[in-house]
Structure 1
Amino acid sequence: MARTTSKMMALGTKAPEFELLNTVDDSIESLHEWKGVKGTVIMFICNHCPFVKHVNHELSKLAKDFKPKGIECIAISSNDAKNYPQDGPQNMKQNAIDHDFIFPYLYDQTQAVAKAYDAACTPDFYAFDKDLKLVYRGQLDDSRPGNDIPVTGKDLRAALNALLDNSEISEDQKPSLGCGIKWK
């Protein structure tokens, strides 16, 4: 498995708008439809990456923990489904069902959204405040497949809790690490 790190978009960047296919119900969803009252987490994930498989249960748990607090999560897969069919819409739908995702799992067929966010790997995390300004980008936590560190989501959770508490979010943020996005 190739290891690729986040490119670390500049803090304060406004979230690029998008409209993408929600693979769970075949609807078209936009960022503004899913924007959280207090914040929004955008996650670039996919089905086949071992780094994402390692954290899927935490992604589901994190969304369930923060949705009642006004933070919405949105997952996007931008991988080339022609060369990586396991990352296509039908399999995305099944993955969302299997992991009880309460957030939309959107398909970025043209890869334009991944490019707009400067996403580089799966998983890649972006947390935005209520005005859709970037306050966190980086890793979920220090856990990786095979390193025996428990998956807790501590880094992203700390940023989201600080956002909710209106306290300062550390700018010392570690890049995410995972499989590179499978570009066309």
Structure 2
Amino acid sequence: MARKESNMLPLGTQAPDFKLIDTVDNRKKTLKELKGTTATLVMFICNHCPFVIHVSSELSQLAKDYVSKGINCIAISSNDVDNYPQDRPELMKKTAIDNEYIFPYLYDQTQEVAKAYDAACTPDFFLFDKNLELVYTGQLDDSRPGNDIPVTGKDIRTAMDALINNKSVNPNQKPSVGCGIKWK
């Protein structure tokens, strides 16, 4: 399992807009219609990455815990499905249902959205405030497959809680670590 760190898009960056197919309901959705009233978490994930599989239940719980607080989550898969068929849209839908994702799981077929966000790995996280300005990018928490640290979502939860409480998000952020996005 090759490890790749996120690129750490500069804080303050405006969220790039997109219009992508939601693999669960097969409808095109935009960032503007999916954004939360308090914040928006954009997550680059995929079906087969062991780093994503390791945190998938926490991703589901995170959304359930924060949607009522005005924070919407959006997952995007940008992997090359020709060479990684386990990440095909129909299997994304199955993954979303099996993992009880209450957030849209979008397919970035052209990989343009991943490039616009400078996404590098799965998982890769981008938390934007209500104005869609980047306030957090980095890891979910310190847990990785095989390191015996429990998955808690501590780092992202701390950033989300700061936004809910109208406080500044700590700018000292650790990059996410995962499998590199499978580019075409």
**Shorter-chain-normalised TM-score: which range?**
over 0.9
Write out the 4+ residue segments of structure 1 that deviate beyond 4 Å after TM superposition.
Answer: none
SS of equivalent to 2:21:
strand
Q: Could you tell me which residue of structure 2 aligns to residue 139 of structure 1?
A: 139
Percent identity of the aligned residues?
Answer: 68
Match of 2:130 in 1: 130
Cα distance per residue 1:33-72 (max 9 Å; x no partner): 1010000000000000000000000000000000000000
Instruction: Give the match for residue 65 of structure 2.
Output: 65
Shift, 1:119, TM fit: 0.1
* Cα root mean square deviation, aligned: 0.3
Q: Which runs of 5+ in 2 are unaligned?
A: none
Pairing 1:82–2:82 present: yes
- Equivalent in the alignment of 1:43: 43
Unaligned 5+ segments in structure 1 are none
SS for the counterpart of 1:15 is coil
- Structure 1 residue 33 and structure 2 residue 33: aligned? yes
How many residues are paired up? 184
Give the deviation of 1:6 after TM superposition. 0.5
One-letter amino acid of the counterpart of residue 9, structure 1: L
Q: Aligned residue for 2:172?
A: 172
Q: What are the Cα deviations for residues 53-101 of structure 1, in whole angstroms up to 9, with x where unaligned?
A: 0000000000000000000000000000010000010000000000000
SS in 1 for 2:151: coil
Matched, 1:182 2:174: no
Give the TM-score, by structure 1 length. 1.00
Cross-structure match for 1:117: 117
Structure 2 CA distance, aligned partners of 1:16 and 1:151? 29
Displacement of 1:168: 1.6
Q: d(CA) in 2 for partners of 1:131 and 1:170?
A: 18
